A and B are shown apart, each in its own frame.
Chain A
Amino acid sequence: MECRDIINTLAACLQVSGTDPGLAQFIQILLGVLIVTMAPLIVVILLIWVERKFAARVQDRIGPNRVGPYGLFQTVADALKLITKEDITPAGADRLIYNLAPIVSIVSVILIWAVIPFSPIHIGVDLSIGALYFVAVGSIGTLAIMMAGWSSNNKYALLGAFRVVAQLVSYEVPMVFALLVPVLIAGSMSMQGIVEAQRGMWFVVLSPVAALIFFISTQAETGRAPFDLIEAESELVAGFNIEYSGMKFGLFFAGEFVHVFTNALLMAALFFGGWVGPGVDQIPALGFVYIALKATVFYLVSLLLRSTLPRVRIDQLMSFNWKFLVPVSIVNVIVVAFLLQVVRALGLAPAADLANDFIANLPQAIVLLLGSLVIVAFVLQQLRNFGRQERAAAQTVMVRKEDDVDMLPAQAAH
């Protein structure tokens, strides 16, 4: 290893100046870690402002505009407020777990940032199992909610936690199936490998169905509208975090905000080419701009969804997942796998030396895209039939379904 530039070969540079090799390596790792862990926390301060402004504009309000120019410092003021608020631990709470839960919740999100590729050379660490890593650490967040709900010693918190956990684990299934598609096409689980494989063609072209399912299920994973049963105020008072106050409550929210943007980044990296863009090989730093632009688009779409759509009912939420998303995602994986074999058998796959060429990727892309369109057409047909049946049934039976009556704790405990 030689000392080229200070950021990527810091250890080598330190060794040149006479530091112990082991220590030099450690310092390099520590610095990298600090940069990557700080990034989401700095970004979140901006994100909260963006979110509030955006939601306000959608709803024809002004949004924060008092603290600093355009209300930019509102988040700082809020953070100060949260820190100085009294922190209440309810009687009978399990103190250790109660305090640990918000930390675990935000840690599970921050850990995802370790494998997000920002440019050809800037990535926390390019694990060979990166795609599985982020699903695995993401699933720790579920645990945090369970811990929070249980340790609060509150019926509504526990009930909310149960619901949320059921929602999160359910939507993880289609998410992972959608994630299989990029792995299948790229033949790699490392995040850089997946992004590199999109130099010729973005995966969203090859499998728009997978991209859509991934987007919907990650949206549900964050617990944002229309899937915000986490904060179903009308039924659960406030859900699993009802007993939390002050900074601990703030951490749950910060975690949620970071999670939304993290999902947008993952969406950009997995399906929209990540840092791929013109001139990125000459100036790697351009990768930051490309991925940030792409991620911002998804972030804004998800904000738009949040501020416009109404909340779904929990039975609809579960039916939508298990009877729609999961079957479609399974069929999608099978179709993509089948078409990849067909493409290879027909010799339409791009040659190894032309993998980065747009034209060489076209035949494969067209075949796979047609497969996706067939899936979409079939699904739409099925939905139309289903809708017709539902309307027919609704006309004969004009009885409205009771909403979740059995969910009240009084009745749940017989």
Chain B
Amino acid sequence: MNVINEWAFIGVFVAIAWVIPTLPIALAAFVSPRKPNAIKMQTYECGVETVGDTWVQFKVQYYIYGLVFLVFDVEMIFLFPWALAYNRLDFFAFGAGLLFIFLLTDALIYAWRKRALEWV
């Protein structure tokens, strides 16, 4: 199989993978009873009436975790080709990779020292 065929497979795969879980939901829509009423449709929050807006404000810590994750994720753009080509690279490439990882570890150490990774 050539490259385009491989990805055609993935394309068809994505399409079919969407259809299959949709089928039971569609089936359930036909089979299951539907008797909605105001109480039933209420938001379920421990049986107590919902207070205020759902979009309460969240702590910034979630964002910090997402941020650190993003940085490490972007790092993978470079580390994967590096690892892939590693068999034909020399010590210089190891040094380059080491420096690259080391610089990013700096950021992690900074976050650690500043207690940005704590769940407070």
Contact = CB atoms under 8 A, between A and B. Distances in A.
B44 A247 contact: no
A142 to B, nearest CB: 10
A124 B9 contact: yes
A166 B24 contact: no
Given A36-B13, A341-B94, A86 B58 contact: no
Contacts of B29: 87
A348 B31 CA distance: 66
Contacts of A169: 65-66, 69
Interface of B: 1, 3, 5-10, 12-14, 16-18, 20-22, 24-25, 27-29, 31-36, 38, 40-46, 50-52, 54-59, 61-62, 65-66, 68-69, 72-73, 76, 79-80, 83-88, 90-91, 94, 97-98, 101, 105, 108, 112, 117-120
A164 to B, nearest CB: 11
Interface string A111-130: 10010000000001111100
A406 B34 CA distance: 39
Contacts of B85: 187
Contacts of B21: 102-103, 106-107, 110, 251
A87 B108 contact: no
B91 A341 contact: yes
Contacts of A259: none
Contact of A153 (B43, B58, B68): B43
A7 B64 CA distance: 50
A246 interface: yes
A176 B73 contact: yes
22 contacts: A29-B12, A33-B9, A33-B13, A84-B33, A86-B33, A91-B38, A103-B18, A110-B21, A124-B9, A156-B45, A158-B55, A158-B56, A165-B62, A169-B66, A176-B73, A176-B76, A318-B117, A318-B118, A326-B108, A337-B97, A412-B57, A413-B52
Main SS of the interface on chain B?
A: helix
Count class of interface residues, chain A? 35 or more
Interface string A76-91: 0001001111111111
Contacts of B13: 33, 36-37, 111, 114, 124-125
A333 B6 CA distance: 31
B64 to A, nearest CB: 9
B22 A103 contact: yes
Contact of B54 (A114, A154, A334, A338): A154
